[in-house]
Structure formats: structure tokens, C-alpha cells
A and B are shown apart, each in its own frame.
Chain A
Amino acid sequence: MPPVKTRLPAIDGWFTLDEEAPALLGSRCGSCGNFAFPKETYSCRNPECQGREFAEVPLSRTGKVWSYTNAGYQPPEPYVSAYPYVPFAIAAVELAAEQMVVMGQVVPGVDVDALAVGAEVELVLGTLYEDDEHEYVVWKWRPLDGAGGTPDGKGREDA
């Protein structure tokens, strides 16, 4: 049995590592309440606001597909691709409370045929790439209607 690899975020501080219910970590302006992802750290992006204080807030874990596509060809570096390359879908998802759209890969096994504008999806953690000792994880969108796909999380079959 291969040794269990350590799971590390592909980027620090952008999402929680809660395997059951992960969330993107955005910022909320202390002055005007504006949400931002990735987090605002210095100055509020709302031109009417002079805010400099930001709270870190988890963003909505579910949303509706604004649009979607797939990557039929292997993206260039700095994307780290598995060999052989396996195409994946990408969704841009509207978060209702934040009124913003966040893009992400869709979990493996779900292609465009299983997606639709307006379909509900939820945030999960999935492997972006790995090396000998680590799995680097990132947020991915997974359809909520059971449209298929592998769990792509802890204990997934292809690990």
C-alpha cells in the first residue's frame, strides 16, 4: 500500500481545509461591507469607501452555475498537469449572498454535458497536482443534483 500523502493547500489562506465542508475565505470590508475574493488586504475596492479594515469571512459554499466550459487541451505552465492529460470542466459560479461569481475547476468525471447554467453546485476540496510526498489541493465545484463525478476527496478510489 502506498504511503498516505500529506494534503497541502495549493495556495495558502484562500480556503479552509475542512474536508467535509470547506469554504473559500474572502474578506469583508469593515466600513462598507464589500466582499472580495481573493481577500482584500490593504484598501477597499469600492471607490466610495475608504475602508482599511477587513474581516476574513467564509464565502457561501453553494451557488448557481453562471456559465461553464472545459479545457480540451492541456493548459500551459504554471498549470501542473498529470500525465497523460485528462480534460476537466470549469464552472463560474454565482454566490447569492455575496453577489459575486467565482471560477473553479469542476470535480473529475463531470463534463459539460452534466452541467447547466443555473444548476446548483457546492464547494469541495480536490487534488490539483501531486509530488512524491504531497497532494496539493484546491477548491472545486461539484454538482448538487448528483450528476456524477468522483468524490475527489479523502479516500477517493483513484488515490
Chain B
Amino acid sequence: MPDDRRVAVLGAGMHPWGKWGRNFVEYGLAAAGDALAEAGVAWTDVDYVAGADTIRNGYPGFIAGATFARALGWTGARVSSAYAACASGAQAINNARAQILAGLCDVALVVGADTTPKGFFKPVGGERRDDPDWLRFHLIGATNPTYFALYARRRMELFGATEADFAAVKVKNARAGLENPNARYRKAVTVDEVLASPMVADPLRLLEICATSDGGAALVLTSMEFARRHTGTDRLVTVDAVSTVTPTFPQTVLDMPGIATDSAAGSDSVGPTFKRSVAIAAYEEAGIGPEDIDLAEVYDLSSALELDWYEDILLCKEGEAERLLRDGDTTIGGRVPVNPSGGLSCFGEAIPAQAIAQVCELVWQLRGRAGARQVEGATVGITANQGLFGHGSSVIVSA
């Protein structure tokens, strides 16, 4: 891939996920410090800060780029602050990448961090009768797990997935997360334990739905030319694609926070589903296909949703995800391990940090520095996520 289409990842850093209850800025700074140290780049050499926003921490969260830049010490670096629900981190990565590829900067720092409340995510305060996110809670009581459960039930009906399959996803990810010092939940579970946990949104149980967490993640991205000069080598981990495409009309899969889908009555044909289109765009941008992928980090907001992703990132055909899981293909040591980090299952979601954390995991895996959860010989990885209001992302990283 030519240098004007990719950027180098010189450093990755994370603050461990948990329920620490401190200011989100601290987590971002810790992650940024680790990423800069890993890159061997001084803060004063960074000329662009791409922040991923949190909407639950007041004004500093809305202008995250400036918040982190000020906390690190104003240097005059330019900043941006991106909010795109679960894809916020990927939008920040893309902002930094675009600046680098446009030749407007050489060294960019990407940071996302969050401090989250306990329990179900709920809309931010106030009575807002024109906000779909407020309305779905008020009129229906539809939480995020409601949507995950609708998709899960659909899998059971269309493809014969079982509750035991969903539980097996949790078991797999819990085992991987045991080996990840940045994960919040590091405890092995059995299928029976998963199936004995309380039902939250039938058929999904408490242990199958991702928690909300505090955490922070950061990346140092640079131009290829800077990276070669700085490291004295050509062996670089690079970001080859950042897909942030939006849905196409008509969107026929019920999507958070909608109460209804688009109507397909006036359309001759309906294209790929939104989640699939996000991954397809990433593959096209990187000029590779799913057969080239060695590992994936996907957004397992629920155990069942991970199975949807196998198909949406084209690891298998529709309806074959359960077979992939049962055959052990997506377990560490299998053909294409999925969520070797432990996934959201072991992290819980720290919204603006999560898409960045997915890339951190790929970077460490491709450098062979993932310890006991290492995917041997991995050279290409993909991330995927989807959030509210037509946001999703997929990042392809190679070494």
C-alpha cells in the first residue's frame, strides 16, 4: 500500500478498564503517556490531538481534544473533538489520519476516555420529546439490551442459534480476558454459570451483556516518512483503512435508538445491512479481503452480537457463525481469533475509548507483544463496531 494511503502507529496505550470513579481526563492522560512512551515521542513533538468525546462528563467531555491538550500542557498543537457514539474513537483516529495524509501534520495523538454511570445507559437529562433517544426510553422502555436481544432472537429463529451458543461466546471471551491486564473482568466462566445468570432481555442474560466502564485509550499516529526516520526501520505497524461510512436508505434493520425502520416499500432493492457495509468499505479501502484477516476485535455489546459480526465482517456466510464458534475457529489458536483481548465482555464499554482500544489490541498483537493471549504470526487485523444514530467503524491494521 502506498505511503499516501496509510499512517504508522508508533505507540498505543491504555488505562485499565474498571469502575474507578475518577475524572475521565486522568484515564486519558495515563493512556496518552503510555502511548507516547511506547512511541518514544515527546508530547512537545505532537502537532495534532484528536480527542474522542464523552457526553456524560460535562463541557470538558464535549471538547475532549482541547481537554487533553490543556492537561498535557498547551503547546499550540491543533485539536479536534469527535462524537460518533460507539465509533467516536474511530472518528478521532480518522481525523488524525486525514491530517497526516493531507500533509498538515506529522505526529498526531488520539485519545478517548470515559467515566460512566452505573447500570443501563440512559439518555442525558431533560424532557426532550423530539429526541429519538429520549422517546424510545419514555414510550417503550427500550434500553440498549432490548435491541441486542431482538437481534439475538432473530439469530435463533433464522439460523438455529441456541442460548448455549451465546453463552459459549462469553466463555471464550472470558478465557481470553483472563490474560489481559487492561480488562476489567478477569474471571473464567462456564456455560452453566452464564445460563444461570439473571435474564435481562430474553434471550440475553446478565453475563452476556456488556457493562459500562471507566477507561482510556490512546494512539500515536505519524506519517510513514516520520515513522521511518524516527524508528530507523521499515517494519512498521500501519493503519490501512478507517471505514466510517453511514447507512444507506432504506435502513431496514431496526437500529438504536430508532422506534421504526425506514420503509422499503418504494425501493427496488435493498443493499447490504449497515454493519456489513462498514466492513466492506474497510476491505475496499485496504485493498484486501476477509481471507487476509488473522484476527478481529469486534463490538460484542452482547454475546450474540459477536456472532452477527462474524458474518458482517465476512469471516463466514450468513448463518454459519455458530459453526465457526463451535469449531473453535474464533478462539485463540483457531483459524481467525475474534476478541483475543477479551472484548467488551471483559472490558465493559467506555464509549469514546473503545474503538481506540480495539486498535491498541491489534497493534500489540501484530507486534507480538500480547503475552499469553498472543495470536501467533498475526500480520493483519480488523476492528468493527456500531453505535447509535448511524455510526459505525472498521479499522484495518497490518504489520
| B153 within 8 A of partner (CB) | yes
| A79 within 8 A of partner (CB) | yes
In chain B between 105 and 163, which residues have their CB closer than 8 angstroms to a CB of chain A? 119-120, 122-123, 127, 129, 134-143, 146, 149-154, 157
Closest A residue, CB atoms, query B132: A38
Interface 1/0 per residue, B159-198 and A, CB below 8 Å: 0000000000000000000000000000000000000001
Chain B nearest CB, measured from A99 CB (Å):
4
A25, B139: Cα distance in complex, Å: 15
* Interface residues in chain B, defined as those with a beta carbon under 8 Å from any beta carbon in chain A: 119-120, 122-123, 127, 129, 134-143, 146, 149-154, 157, 198-204, 249-250, 252, 254, 258-266
* Interface residues in chain A, defined as those with a beta carbon under 8 Å from any beta carbon in chain B: 10-11, 32-38, 45-47, 66-73, 75-81, 88, 90, 92, 97-105, 112, 117, 128, 138
B146 with A105: CB separation less than 8 A: no
Chain A nearest CB, measured from B93 CB (Å):
27
A104, B136: Cα distance in complex, Å: 9
Chain B nearest CB, measured from A15 CB (Å):
10
B138 with A72: CB separation less than 8 A: no
The one of B143, B157, B204, B263 in contact with A76, judged by C-beta atoms closer than 8 angstroms, is: B143
Closest B residue, CB atoms, query A81: B141
The one of B138, B203, B260 in contact with A101, judged by C-beta atoms closer than 8 angstroms, is: B260
B141 with A105: CB separation less than 8 A: yes
The one of B119, B198, B254 in contact with A92, judged by C-beta atoms closer than 8 angstroms, is: B254
Chain A positions within 8 Å of B265 at CB level: 33-35, 97-100
Chain A nearest CB, measured from B320 CB (Å):
20
A99 with B259: CB separation less than 8 A: no
A35, B249: Cα distance in complex, Å: 12
A11 with B139: CB separation less than 8 A: yes
Closest B residue, CB atoms, query A96: B265
A103 with B154: CB separation less than 8 A: no
Closest B residue, CB atoms, query A139: B139
Chain B nearest CB, measured from A55 CB (Å):
14
B129 with A67: CB separation less than 8 A: no
B252 with A101: CB separation less than 8 A: yes
B138 with A68: CB separation less than 8 A: no
Closest B residue, CB atoms, query A102: B260
Chain A positions within 8 Å of B141 at CB level: 71, 75, 79, 81, 88, 90, 105
Chain B nearest CB, measured from A147 CB (Å):
16
* Contact A80/B262 with A69-B149, A72-B200 known, Cβ cut-off 8 Å: no
B266 with A69: CB separation less than 8 A: no
* Beyond A33-B265, A90-B140, 4 additional pairs, beta carbon < 8 A: A11-B138, A69-B150, A71-B201, A99-B263
* Contact A45/B249 with A32-B266, A66-B254, A67-B150 known, Cβ cut-off 8 Å: yes
Chain B nearest CB, measured from A29 CB (Å):
8
Chain B positions within 8 Å of A38 at CB level: 259-260
B137 with A67: CB separation less than 8 A: no
A88, B250: Cα distance in complex, Å: 30
B254 with A75: CB separation less than 8 A: no
A68 with B150: CB separation less than 8 A: yes
B263 with A35: CB separation less than 8 A: yes
With most chain A CB atoms within 10 A of its CB, the pick from B151, B199, B260 is B260
B142 with A75: CB separation less than 8 A: yes
B262 with A78: CB separation less than 8 A: no
A90 with B254: CB separation less than 8 A: no
A47, B141: Cα distance in complex, Å: 31
Chain A nearest CB, measured from B352 CB (Å):
21
B201 with A79: CB separation less than 8 A: no
Closest B residue, CB atoms, query A47: B249
Chain B nearest CB, measured from A49 CB (Å):
8
Closest A residue, CB atoms, query B119: A76
